[in-house]
């Protein structure tokens, strides 16, 4: 069965066509600058990467370009669109109503619209992709896979905030968590590597890319995560502050004469590694600064590592011990020094780093020693495969 996996942003659209029967990626790519001008990057399996500039006023034209490329006589990977059996969409926010992946119908579209309040940048873009696919491929089932759904198993003690309960009742203010598809994928893969039934595992998953979050996963279910009502909460990230004293916000707004939007923008886009170092949000640049002995770069790095370790310690107690810790996403998969700095601070938990084994980038590896009390893995995430898996399960 061929599943087209679609991940829409406001001006971009990433896609993969996956033959789920043998987990084969037939083609992948992205459309960029939708609504501005338009550019398709298309990469067929066993073929050359192609870049095509073409007008893409909306997501409909973008999807049309993708479909044309997939069936193109020269570089296409299928003969006709009838070979696309289902479409899986990544959707950011499903609020409290959606706890699992779902076949998209009018009711689901209504929920995605309602949750646009909670995911104002992503949900409307995700809907544009869904509508475009429904228009261009009528009759093909669409499945929505939500970033928040995996974390809906958190108990109230993990998802409630210590604020007046009216805010929860009136506005659904609570922790939702994000990166759910990734946390779920690496937790399931980790259970396989541990050769243990998923139901018997306790795992801390660390997804660190540009954004970042940790999740405490018990028996394959999320019982806590570091992002919150929005992706701004938790660990420090590339440009996001992570947790801060909320009283900082009104204080800075008054001193700097900022509007709410400006202040929130500063926490989302001008903080984190970027804000603290004053130089870059990219971990590779921060590591260079550390090597050069740059003071602010070093503080940014140490703060980044400390925040992750704080949550590992917290989740270790919350889960009453763990079987494994998993690193994933851009930094987790590729940054040898970041994994080393984190794991070397976990000695009190009986964790030992195997420096040689840690010397890998973008590969699955056990990076703790044989006598480490807790196993530590690097596992490349695969959100597309997870979306294809859920879509396949429904449509089958
Ligand atoms: P996103 O959250 O945007 O999906 P990714 O998971 O792709 O991001 O992660 C992107 C980040 O990964 C980059 O900003 C960079 O900081 C980091 N990164 C990628 N490769 C390396 C590397 N070799 N060393 C350190 N950091 C890396």
**DSSP one-letter string for 313-352:** HHHHHHTTS-SEEEEEHHHHHH-HHHHHHHHHTTGGGT--
285 is catalytic: no
Q: For residue 164, name the pLDDT band (cuts at 50, 70, 90).
A: very high
- Given ligand 1 and candidates 185, 239, 274, 283, which is best to mutate, with the most ligand atoms within 8 Å of its CB? 283
Q: What is the pLDDT of residue 107?
A: 95
Pocket test for ligand 1, best of 92, 330, 332 (most atoms within 8 A of CB): 330
Distance 360 CA to ligand 1 centre (A): 15
What confidence tens digit (pLDDT) does each residue in 71-124 have? 999 999 999 999 999 999 999 999 998 999 999 999 999 999 999 988 888 999
Give the pLDDT of residue 395: 87
State pLDDT tens for residues 337-359: 999 999 999 999 999 999 999 99
Q: How far apart are CA 49 and CA 4, in angstroms?
A: 18
Nearest-atom number in ligand 1 for the CA of 381 is 6
Q: Cα of 208 to ligand 1 centre, how many Å?
A: 8
C-alpha span between 112 and 114 (Å, rounded): 5
Q: Which residues lie below 8 Å from residue 289, measured CB to CB, with a gap of 6+?
A: 277, 279, 280, 296, 297, 298, 300, 301
Kindly report the backbone phi and psi dihedral angles of residue 280, in degrees, each rounded to the nearest multiple of 5, phi listed first. -155, 155
Can you tell me which residue has the tokens 């309040």?
A: 117
Residue showing tokens 């926490």: 267
- Contact partners, residue 205, CB within 8 Å, separation at least 6: 182, 183, 186, 187, 190, 214, 215, 217, 325, 326, 328
Give the pLDDT score at 347: 97
Out of 24, 37, 85, 147, the active site residue is: 147
Q: What is the distance, to the nearest Å, from the Cα of residue 26 to the centroid of all Cα atoms in its chain? A: 23
What is the average pLDDT score of the chain? 96
303 — pLDDT class (breaks 50, 70, 90): very high
Asked if pLDDT for residue 381 goes beyond 90, the answer is yes
Please name the residue whose Cα sits nearest to atom 12 of ligand 1. 330
Residue with CA closest to ligand 1 atom 23: 334
Beta bridge partners, 253, equal none
- Mean pLDDT, residues 306-310 taken together: 98
Mutate to test the pocket of ligand 1, among 122, 209, 341 (most ligand atoms within 8 A of CB): 209
Ligand 1 centroid to Cα of residue 325, in Å, is: 19
Question: Which pLDDT belongs to residue 114?
Answer: 94
The predicted pLDDT at position 301 comes to 98
| pLDDT given at position 39 | 96
What is the bridge-based pairing of β-strands 212-218 and 221-225? antiparallel
Whole-prediction pTM: 0.94
Task: Assess contact for 26 and 77: CB atoms under 8 A.
Answer: yes
Percent of the chain with pLDDT over 70: 100
Task: Tell how far the Cα of 337 is from the centroid of ligand 1, in angstroms.
Answer: 13
pLDDT of residue 48: 94
Give per-residue burial for 112-151: e unless 16+ CB within 10 Å, then b: beebbebbeebbebbbbbbbbbeeebeebbbbbbbbbbbb
Report the candidate in 49, 60, 119 with the shortest Cα–Cα distance to residue 90. 119
pLDDT tens digits for range 178-224: 999 999 999 999 999 999 999 999 999 999 999 999 999 999 999 99
Mean of the pLDDT values across residues 360-389? 97
Q: Which ligand 1 atom is the nearest neighbour of the CA of 284? A: 25
Percent with pLDDT over 90 in the chain: 96
Cα torsion angle, 194, 198, 203, 205, sign: positive
CA of 162 to the centre of ligand 1 (A): 33
Q: Which ligand 1 atom minimizes the distance to the CA of 212?
A: 2
pLDDT at 299 exceeding the cut of 90? yes
Please tell me the residue having the least CA distance from ligand 1 atom 24.
Answer: 335
- As for ligand 1, residues whose beta carbon falls within 6 Å of it are 209-211, 238, 282-284, 329-331, 334-335, 361
- Residue 190 is classified by DSSP as H
Atom of ligand 1 nearest to the CA of 283: 16
329 CA → ligand 1 middle, Å: 7
pLDDT at 139 over 90: yes
Per-residue pLDDT of 218-267, as tens digits, reads 999 999 999 999 999 999 999 999 999 999 999 999 999 999 999 999 99
Nearest to 150, CA basis, from 98, 202, 113, 111: 98
Q: What does the pLDDT read at residue 117?
A: 87
For residues 395 and 337, what is the distance between their CA atoms, to the nearest angstrom? 43
User: Distance (Å, rounded) from C-alpha 272 to C-alpha 266?
Assistant: 10
pLDDT at 396 over 90: no
**What pLDDT score was predicted for residue 10?**
84
């Amino acid at each position: 069965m061929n599943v087209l996996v679609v991940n829409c942003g406001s001006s971009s659209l990433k896609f993969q066509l996956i033959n789920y029967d043998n987990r084969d990626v037939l083609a992948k790519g992205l459309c960029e600058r939708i609504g501005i001008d338009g550019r398709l990057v298309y990469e067929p399996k066993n073929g050359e990467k192609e870049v095509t500039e073409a007008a893409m006023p909306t997501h409909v034209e973008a999807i049309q370009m993708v479909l044309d490329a997939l069936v193109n006589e020269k570089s296409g990977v299928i003969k006709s669109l009838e070979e696309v059996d289902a479409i899986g969409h990544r959707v950011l926010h499903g609020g409290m109503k959606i706890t699992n992946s779902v076949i998209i119908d009018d009711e689901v579209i209504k929920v995605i619209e309602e949750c646009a309040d909670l995911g104002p940048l992503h949900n409307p873009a995700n809907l544009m992709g869904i509508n475009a696919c429904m228009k261009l491929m009528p009759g093909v089932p669409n499945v929505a896979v939500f970033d928040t759904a995996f974390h809906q198993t958190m108990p109230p003690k993990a998802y409630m905030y210590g604020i007046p309960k009216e805010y929860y009742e009136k506005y659904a203010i609570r922790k939702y968590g994000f990166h759910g598809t990734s946390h779920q994928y690496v937790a399931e893969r980790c259970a396989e590597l541990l050769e243990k039934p998923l139901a018997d595992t306790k795992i801390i998953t660390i997804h660190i890319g540009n954004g970042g979050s940790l999740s405490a996963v018990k028996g394959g279910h999320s019982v806590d995560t570091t992002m919150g009502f929005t992706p701004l909460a938790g660990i420090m990230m590339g440009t996001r502050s992570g947790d801060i004293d909320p009283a900082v916000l009104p204080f800075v707004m008054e001193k700097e004469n900022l509007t709410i939007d400006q202040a929130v923008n500063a926490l989302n886009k001008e903080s984190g590694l970027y804000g603290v170092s004053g130089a870059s949000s990219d971990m590779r640049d921060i590591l260079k600064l550390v090597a050069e002995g740059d003071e602010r770069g070093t503080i940014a790095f140490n703060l980044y590592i400390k925040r992750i370790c704080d949550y590992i310690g917290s989740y270790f107690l919350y889960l009453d011990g763990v079987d494994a810790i998993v690193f994933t996403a851009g930094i987790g998969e590729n940054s040898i020094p970041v994994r080393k700095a984190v794991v070397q601070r976990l000695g009190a938990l009986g964790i030992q780093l195997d420096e040689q084994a840690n010397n890998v980038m973008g590969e699955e590896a056990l990076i703790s020693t044989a006598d480490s009390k807790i196993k530590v893995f690097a596992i490349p995430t695969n959100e597309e495969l997870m979306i294809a898996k859920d879509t396949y399960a429904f449509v089958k």
